[in-house]
Amino acid sequence: MPVVRTGEIQVWRRREPAKQLAIWFAWLCGVALFMFCWSIISEKTTWFFVFDAPRIAGDIGSRMFPPRWSYIDQLWLPLWDTINIATLGTMFSIVMAVPVAFLAARNTTPSTRFVRPLALLIIVSSRSINSLIWALLLVSIVGPGLFAGVIAISLRSIGFVAKLLYEAIEEIDEDQVEAIAATGASRAQIIAYGIVPQIMPAFAGITVFRWDINIRESTVLGLVGAGGIGLQLQGSLNILAWPQVTLILIAILFSVVASEVVSAKVRKAII
């Protein structure tokens, strides 16, 4: 008990003394571990390069300005490709993620023993592999280009969309489902009337959010040959054309800002 009686007064402390001591000891261990790791990192670092870093960064920075604005003519198409990869990838992922979400949600899955673990496995495997790695794999399977990018984005997004959607399905108000079931509705009708209207805002929010993320992810897919503006970035880096790199970064920044604006608007409209 944190309350200790000393004579007349009852002294209250937040924790018991032993517990307080244990917490201090845990902090001590944590700090010691941090110092130990720091010393290892310090030994393995070539400090010359680190101290030199500001100069190099300044050097590259000076070469990057001014951006080569005329290069923009060659960027419109890759930018358009990037947006298409993100949009098509999101659409395909939704088509695949919605059934997975219904199979994974505890209250809609046909079987918690067999189907649900399978659906969760799909979600986990999709989420655990980065879209850049999916793209690397797919470039060697379906060849370089937009198609590999679209598939990579959609495979990566299935897990994200399905996970958030199945959580939304599990959080619905069961009373409404019960009421629809009580009218004699079939299973499909219960889903269409009792569940779908309830998850619609979440679904729209998740979709737009994922599309927004996919715009950012698809800008780098070109680095591994899966189409989009990343291809130009790779090319410009390889030939050390820094002014072009600057312009590409600006273009990416603007497309991401635009996608954020759109998704914020859409989400606001839904809720």
Partner 1 sequence: MLRLDGVVKTYPTGDKALKGVTMAVPKGQVIGLIGPSGAGKSTLIRCINRLVEPTEGSITLEDVELTKLGASALRVQRRRMGMIFQEYALVERLTVMENVLSGRLGYVGFWRSYFRKFPQTSIDEAFRLLDRVGLSEMVDKRADELSGGQRQRVGIARALIQDPAILLVDEPTASLDPKTSRQIMRLICELCEERGLAAIINIHDVALAQMFVRRIVGLRVGEIVFDGPPDSMTAETLTEIYGEEDWSATIREVDEEADEEEADVAPATSGHMPEADRDRLAGLT
**Could you list the residues that contact partner 1 (CB under 8 A)?**
173, 175-176, 178-186, 188-189, 192-194, 197-198, 200-201
- For partner 1, the closer of residues 41 and 188 by Cβ is 188
- For partner 1, the closer of residues 72 and 180 by Cβ is 180
- For partner 1, the closer of residues 208 and 224 by Cβ is 208
In the complex, minimum distance from the CB of residue 271 to partner 1, in angstroms, rounded to a whole number = 12
- For partner 1, the closer of residues 142 and 270 by Cβ is 270
DSSP 204: H
The one-letter amino acid at 57 = A
In the complex, minimum distance from the CB of residue 118 to partner 1, in angstroms, rounded to a whole number = 24
Q: Tell me if 88 sits within 8 A of 152, measured CB to CB.
A: no
- Is 215 exposed, middle or buried (CB count within 10 Å of its CB: 0-12, 13-18, 19+)? buried
Q: Which residues in 139-164 are b (16+ Cβ under 10 Å) and which e? A: beeeebbbbbbbbbbbbbbbbbbbbb
In the complex, minimum distance from the CB of residue 78 to partner 1, in angstroms, rounded to a whole number = 41
In the complex, minimum distance from the CB of residue 162 to partner 1, in angstroms, rounded to a whole number = 22
Q: Tell me if 115 sits within 8 A of 109, measured CB to CB.
A: yes
